[in-house]
Amino acid sequence: MSETDFAGRGTTPLVLTVPGLGGSGAAHWQTIWEETRGDCERVDLGMWTAPRRNVWVTKLDHAIKTAPAPVILCAHSLGCLAVAWWAALEGQPYGWPVAGALLVAPPDCDRGDVARPLGGFGPAPKVSLPFPSIVVASRNDDYASIDRAHSMAKFWGSHFVDVGELGHLNAESGIGHWLFGQRLLDRLIAAANIRARLLPEDRSVAGPWSLYPPAAGPGAEMGDPHH
């Protein structure tokens, strides 16, 4: 098969980064990846300090549908809820055009004391995401308990990774280039590359992704999360 697949898209995935409330600053791992990896582009959702769910979903949908290649979504914090709501409201055939998602530190938008900008994204959709996904969570994240993050991973059918105590997995966490997160992203890209070369009717088959099952519980995978 050539490097161009049906619908005129290339087969090498494009990583779209989806920041959370306030965007991601210069020291945030998303920004660093955009500057150093060569395969990452930011989705400009706008309204960073006063986000609206439907506006973010619409802008994310536009970025996905105009991408020149299959897409891997790489979301942080409230961006994870934008991804989940996009999947719930827009939908797609399994694994196409979104071929996977790395969802880092999703906040608990359902709790009673949630900040107002976050509340508009709750309750979190309880849908199985139509693409392979990995939820990464920390045990001392002020925005969501590890158990709540695990519950969201179960709703979404995501593989779950517990990284211990790393706060909100942002610039303040001191993880820099966050090589562990890049390894998770590369895992998604590798699976997407295999799937992109399958015939459309075969893309819903688990294939290599069956090596990475959905959420098994807090502590399911630790790895080397600090680097």
Domains and CATH numbers, the chain: 6-211 (3.40.50.1820)
Long-range CB contact pairs, 182-187, < 8 A, 24+: 182/33, 182/37, 183/223, 184/102, 184/134, 184/136, 185/15, 185/33, 185/72, 185/74, 185/102, 187/134, 187/212
Q: Would you state the pLDDT for residue 91?
A: 84
Q: Would you state the pLDDT for residue 10?
A: 62
What b/e readout covers 155-187, taking b as 16+ CB neighbours within 10 angstroms?
A: bbbbbbbbbeebbbbbbebebeebebbbebbeb
Task: Name the DSSP letter for residue 93.
Answer: S
Q: Does residue 85 contact residue 115 with C-beta atoms inside 8 Å?
A: no
Nearest to 137 by CA among 120, 125, 153: 153
CA 140 to chain CA centroid, nearest Å? 20
Mean pLDDT by 10 residues, the chain (227 residues): 45 93 95 97 95 96 95 98 97 92 97 79 95 98 97 97 97 96 96 73 47 47 52
SS3 content of the chain, % helix, strand, coil (to 5): 35, 15, 50
**CB atoms closer than 10 angstroms to residue 222:** 11
Q: Would you state the pLDDT for residue 224?
A: 54
Using CA atoms, how far apart are residues 189 and 205, in angstroms rounded to an integer?
A: 16
| 200 prior amide bond cis, ω within 30 | no
> In sequence order, what are the residues at sequence separation of 6 or more whose Cβ sits closer than 8 angstroms to the Cβ of residue 139?
146, 162, 164, 165, 218
Q: Would you state the pLDDT for residue 137?
A: 98
Q: Does residue 28 contact residue 171 with C-beta atoms inside 8 Å?
A: yes
Using CA atoms, how far apart are residues 166 and 146, in angstroms rounded to an integer?
A: 11
176: left (phi over 0), alpha (psi -120 to 50) or beta: left
